[in-house]
Structure 1
Amino acid sequence: MIQWAEHAILWHVYPLGFTGAPRAAADGAVQHRLRRVADWLDYAVELGCSGLLLGPVFASETHGYDTIDHFRVDPRLGDEQDFDRLVAAARERGLRLVLDGVFNHVSRRFAQGGDWFRRRGDGTYDVFEGHRHLVALDHERPEVAAYVTRVLSHWLDRGVSGWRLDAAYAVPPEFWAKVVPPVRERHPDAWFLGEVLHGDYAAYVERSGLDSVTQYELWKATWSSLNDGNFFELAWALKRHVAMLDTFVPQTFIGNHDVTRLATRLTDERHFAHALVLLMTLPGVPSIYYGDEQAFRGLKEEREGGDDAIRPAFPRDPSELAPFGWPTYRLHQRLVGMRRRHPWLVRAHTSVEHLTNRALALRSTAPEGEVLTLLNIGDEPYRFPLDVTGFSVIATPSAGEGPGSLVPGHGWLVLGRSR
């Protein structure tokens, strides 16, 4: 695994929404909105993040995933100088920058024209999941592979550290196996993350040569088990999750630009912290979707504009954020800080030590140490039948709670010890 990614905690930002850019590109006049992203980097550092996962920044028609030109910054966001300033500002703060590359499909106005579009048997263009304006690229064409290789290398040359490859699940893994190696020759520290929703994650990584894929199975099991009071679902997902570590380290999350906000999804807001505890104690490369650290709400809807609620604009300055979100921000700070003090959790072996519908104890072990994560979503205090001798509290909902196996109703506790 790429060394810097071993310690990465990413703040995930959708820049068109974050900066309040208009829904559609209009006259092409440059608006320097990327500077607003740069203004929030200190906030991300104070949160505890070490990287910025940035949604689409390239010239597009509307939402950024209908790219027109991968070599040009979207004028709604700025120009190349704005991008270079953002890269420099991130570097000054020790933040790695990961870009979002959309190479499965493009806009019908794609700069290279229709010669590279994939055609159906009847001669019409193939499209992405029924969206007429998103035309699929023909990944069998050598010109497409050469183009994607150039794009990846171009922006790595400009100072970024990695790529999220959008809709990788719709692209043959053999395409990435052709594209990535020549890029790695020039940029051996580049990290490549593929968006994969389901299926055999490990097989896709092995066939594609990517470093990681998005762990949607764990995301779903996290909120679903909390809502249903059924930790058995999460325990089953964890078996698959841990097995993946034999091949790669998954990218983990409890929110992103494509799903309903966690604070909206959960039926009991007291369990938001439990989901965050899981994100920060389980193996993987975790990301925090902007606004989740402030308990933002937002419902994704399957309609035109249905993503707007989960991709909102941020204010100009942190002082303009609502007061009710700051306790959640401070909770994130504590748990992210715990994770950074135990970086070995990124690939720790995690086992289920105790399991009921509403109580779960996880043990994460590595040569460096051991962590016990105790979760109780029942109404009554729960005493876990575990020996916690030698453990100390490394994360807790509030100060003053000592080590022990008794967890209050709807409470949680993280214990740790060094080896």
Structure 2
Amino acid sequence: MGGMSFAEHAIIWHVYPLGALGAPIRPEAPAPVTHRLPNLIGWLDYVVELGCNALMLGPVFESVSHGYDTLDFYRIDPRLGTEEDMDALLEAANQRGIGVLFDGVFNHVSSSSKYLDLTTGASFEGHDILAELDHTNPAVVDLVVDVMNHWLDRGIAGWRLDAVYAIAPEFWEKVLPEVRRKHPHAWIVGEMIHGDYSDYVKSSGIDSVTEYELWKAIWSSIKERNFFELEWTLSRHNEFLDTFVPQTFIGNHDVTRIATRIGQSNAILAAAILFTVGGTPSIYYGDEQGFTGLKEDNVFGDDAIRPPLPAEFSPLGTWIENIYKALIALRRQHPWLYQAHTEVLEIANEAMTYKSVGLGGEELTVHLDLEEVSVRILDGEKVLFQYSA
């Protein structure tokens, strides 16, 4: 297992840079170099004040449109800036103790990229602008090893592997030992929407996967007022924790905002669950301010969930930000929650009490009530956090 020490204390702020920095997502012509990355440096102190110590970036490499259609794995997207801008961001992040994770889009490339001779000729999930890399080709293994090491050498802390569910785990068995030889502490998390998480982790050698199952159960049990769904998923979650520690989230760049799905007050309950169960939690930028946004199924369908960061956040979100700070502080004070198992003590459709138990026997109790829209987190009789709408 690589990246243990990083993940153990990581609380991630997840940003989609092209959207957050206001870059044109569908430029009609190749965009001129525009220095947008320095604006992200301006947000690092905010990240630290929130209590986060990791920054997960969506795609930053030169691409045609949304970043997942890569043209060059070694070049920063000119819409974001230059290599020097990225070096400055990495240095500023590292100075503040923030580890930066890059998005490794190693399943497919732009069908107009220079990597076409390394592709299978098949398009990815019916998108003709995306050509699938041929993962059985040793040259693709070499390319991915080289790209991963190149940016780890430059100072990133690890990688999110895009669409890992579409790549045979055997590919990573070839790639990762070469990466870990140089960078034993790099943390590698794979995007898994469905599939056998534990089996993939074991056979590929990655450290973690994005736990979509838990994401779905958290919002869906609140929306449908059925905590039994969450109870079932938490028992699965406990099993995952025996093999690996999942990367947990209630929002990301591919899904409708949690506040849009279940409302801002209910979204606080979702956040309380996120920060009291095992995992390496991430916050999708703006969720901690109560951002709303609906993902739609069309060419502009992601725009609403990948908005530009404002010059500064509106004071309207401050109450939510303060709750997030309190939940993150609680997580920091109980670092054993990283590997905590959950035990459901009482459950009804609209109310649930569970206990989070650390490997050393540490305990916290969490009471959730959908009728009152309230949450209480206790250490024995002592109330550590409470919220009621």
TM-score by length of 2: 0.96
| Residue 369 of structure 2: aligned partner | 376
RMSD: 1.8
> Based on CA coordinates, which of the two structures has the bigger radius of gyration?
1
Gaps of 5+ in 1: 119-124, 398-409, 412-419
Query: What SS does the aligned partner of 1:72 have?
Result: strand
Q: Describe the shift of the 1:312–1:382 C-alpha distance in structure 2 as closer, same or farther (beyond 3 A).
A: closer
C-alpha distance in structure 2 between counterparts of 1:322 and 1:382, whole Å? 25
| Residue 38 of structure 1: aligned partner | 41
**Does structure 2 conserve the Cα–Cα contact (< 8 Å) formed by 1:359 and 1:382?**
no
Gaps of 5+ in 2: none
1:18 and 2:20 aligned: yes
- The Cα shift of 1:389 comes to 8.9
| Residue 201 of structure 2: aligned partner | 205
Q: How does 1:386-397 map to 2 (within 5 A)?
A: 390-397=380-387
Query: What SS does the aligned partner of 1:192 have?
Result: strand
**Does structure 2 conserve the Cα–Cα contact (< 8 Å) formed by 1:117 and 1:138?**
yes
| Residue 334 of structure 2: aligned partner | 342
**Does structure 1 conserve the Cα–Cα contact (< 8 Å) formed by 2:265 and 2:373?**
no
- The Cα shift of 1:383 comes to 12
1:93 and 2:89 aligned: no
- The Cα shift of 1:264 comes to 0.4
- The Cα shift of 1:382 comes to 11
C-alpha distance in structure 1 between counterparts of 2:200 and 2:364, whole Å? 30
1:293 and 2:288 aligned: yes
| Residue 352 of structure 2: aligned partner | 360
| Length, aligned pairs only | 385
Query: What SS does the aligned partner of 1:396 have?
Result: strand
Query: What SS does the aligned partner of 1:175 have?
Result: helix
C-alpha distance in structure 2 between counterparts of 1:270 and 1:41, whole Å? 27
| Residue 192 of structure 2: aligned partner | 196
C-alpha distance in structure 1 between counterparts of 2:25 and 2:5, whole Å? 38
**Does structure 2 conserve the Cα–Cα contact (< 8 Å) formed by 1:173 and 1:204?**
yes
Q: Describe the shift of the 1:86–1:204 C-alpha distance in structure 2 as closer, same or farther (beyond 3 A).
A: same
The percent identity for this pair of structures is 53
Q: How does 1:15-414 map to 2 (within 5 A)?
A: 15-25=17-27, 26-112=29-115, 114-118=116-120, 125-266=121-262, 268-316=263-311, 318=312, 321-366=313-358, 367=360, 369-379=362-372, 390-397=380-387
- The Cα shift of 1:145 comes to 0.6
Query: What SS does the aligned partner of 1:199 have?
Result: coil
Letter of the structure 2 residue corresponding to residue 30 of structure 1: V
**Does structure 1 conserve the Cα–Cα contact (< 8 Å) formed by 2:54 and 2:98?**
yes
C-alpha distance in structure 1 between counterparts of 2:200 and 2:291, whole Å? 33
